[in-house]
């Protein structure tokens, strides 16, 4: 079995996940990019974006899942994580069925 786990901080995991979400429609808008960058305190967006771009879809979701498992999230922190994802999906005032499906998939994977 492959291990996709990284040593991401919670912030790095959030940023990578937001990049993943912003690309649900295969088009990360400038509004979405700016939103993601507004959530950064210590992480490097460009490094995480480059990693995201080199990863295939399966690897991306495995990294998110394993990194989430490797960080200790309280119920409150999980809800905050999901709230920020929802904010991203709504930042462009469109919440497509693809985005809704992706959100639910990530919730299911994390809650599994």
The mean of the pLDDT values for the chain is 90
Checking phi first, is residue 56 left (phi over 0); if not, alpha (psi -120 to 50) or beta?
beta
- Cα 101 to its chain centre, rounded Å, is 14
Three-state SS at 53: helix
Give CA–CA dist 94/62, Å, rounded. 27
User: Residue written as tokens 């394993």?
Assistant: 66
pLDDT for residue 95: 80
Centre a 10 Å sphere on the Cβ of residue 59 and count the other Cβ atoms it contains: 14
5, pLDDT greater than 90? no
* Other residues' Cβ atoms within 10 Å of the Cβ of residue 92: 17
pLDDT of residue 98: 85
pLDDT higher than threshold 60 for residue 53:
yes
pLDDT(33) > 80? yes
- Whole-prediction pTM value? 0.90
């Amino acid at each position: 079995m492959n291990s996709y786990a990284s040593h991401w901080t919670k912030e790095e995991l959030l940023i990578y996940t937001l990049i993943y979400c912003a690309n649900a429609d295969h088009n990360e808008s400038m509004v979405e990019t700016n939103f993601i960058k507004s959530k950064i305190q210590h992480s490097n967006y460009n490094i995480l974006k480059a990693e995201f771009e080199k990863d295939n879809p399966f690897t991306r979701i495995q990294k998110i899942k394993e990194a989430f498992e490797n960080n200790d999230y309280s119920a409150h922190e999980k809800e905050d994580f999901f709230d920020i994802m929802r904010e991203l999906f709504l930042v462009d005032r469109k919440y497509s069925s693809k985005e809704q499906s992706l959100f639910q998939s990530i919730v299911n994977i994390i809650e599994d």
